[in-house]
């Protein structure tokens, strides 16, 4: 089960990299520009306020059933086509990975909740903490993906954001479907060994014994 989760995690990152290549832009360019500009300001403190991408993706994947994971895997492997001009413009208006998730959100709403809504909450908490730890006369500038601006604004007054819950990676128990598939696979292997490998091995062993006995009798 963990293997499938890691495989989808890798596929989503790979799909994001392919789209970024089509866009002919480096991922996270706006954040690099912001970082370089901040370095020019004396005394400017740079804080990384987003939730780590590996936590976000693992939480997102954990919302999927086994069948949904299989469907997303199939989509990432076989349904990718080079982006058209109008699609390129749409991707430029939003984080690439978020745009990919948006395409799945109608069928897999859990992905959008984790990738967008939860990160909005996490970013709100990060910006608040930045405001608490800086002098009153300081200016705080938050650089976020355009897709998060509205969500941050809407959630700004939310109290008691549970950050520990937002960074927790759910421990998943194998689903009944996955367990059935796994043991069916193991059963098929065991039956194949019983049906084809063991008889052949026993037959070869018996043939060798008979051959050796025959040779000894002939020699006498």
Between the CA of residue 143 and those of 31, 42, 120, 150, 164, what are the distances in Å?
Answer: 7, 18, 13, 13, 23
- Intervals of the chain under pLDDT 70: 1-9, 11-27, 76-105, 172-183, 185-187, 189-220
CB 141 within 8 A of CB 169: no
Same domain, 70 and 18: yes
pLDDT score for 166: 95
Same domain, 119 and 196: no
pLDDT score for 115: 84
Same domain, 153 and 54: yes
This prediction's pTM: 0.66
Which domain does 188 fall in, by range? 174-220
Q: Residue 116 CB: number of other CB atoms within 10 A?
A: 20
Same domain, 50 and 79: yes
What's the number of domains the chain is made of? 2
């Amino acid at each position: 089960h963990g293997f499938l989760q890691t495989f989808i995690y890798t596929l989503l990152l790979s799909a994001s990299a392919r789209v970024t290549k089509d866009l002919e832009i480096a991922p996270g360019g706006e954040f690099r520009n912001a970082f370089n500009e901040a370095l020019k300001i004396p005394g400017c403190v740079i804080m990384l306020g987003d939730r780590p991408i590996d936590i976000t993706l693992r939480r997102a994947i954990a919302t999927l059933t086994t069948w949904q994971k299989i469907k997303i895997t199939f989509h990432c492997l076989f349904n990718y086509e080079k982006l058209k001009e109008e699609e390129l413009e749409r991707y430029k208006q939003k984080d690439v990975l978020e745009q990919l998730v948006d395409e799945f959100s109608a069928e897999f709403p859990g992905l959008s909740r984790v990738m967008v809504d939860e990160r909005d909450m996490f970013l709100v908490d990060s910006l608040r903490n930045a405001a608490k730890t800086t002098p009153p006369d300081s200016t705080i500038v938050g650089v976020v993906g355009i897709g998060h601006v509205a969500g941050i604004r809407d959630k700004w007054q939310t109290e008691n954001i549970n950050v520990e819950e937002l960074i927790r990676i759910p421990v998943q128990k194998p689903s009944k479907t996955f367990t059935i598939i796994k043991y069916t696979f193991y059963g098929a292997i065991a039956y194949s060994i019983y049906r084809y490998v063991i008889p052949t091995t026993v037959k070869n062993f018996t043939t060798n014994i008979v051959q050796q006995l025959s040779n000894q009798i002939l020699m006498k």
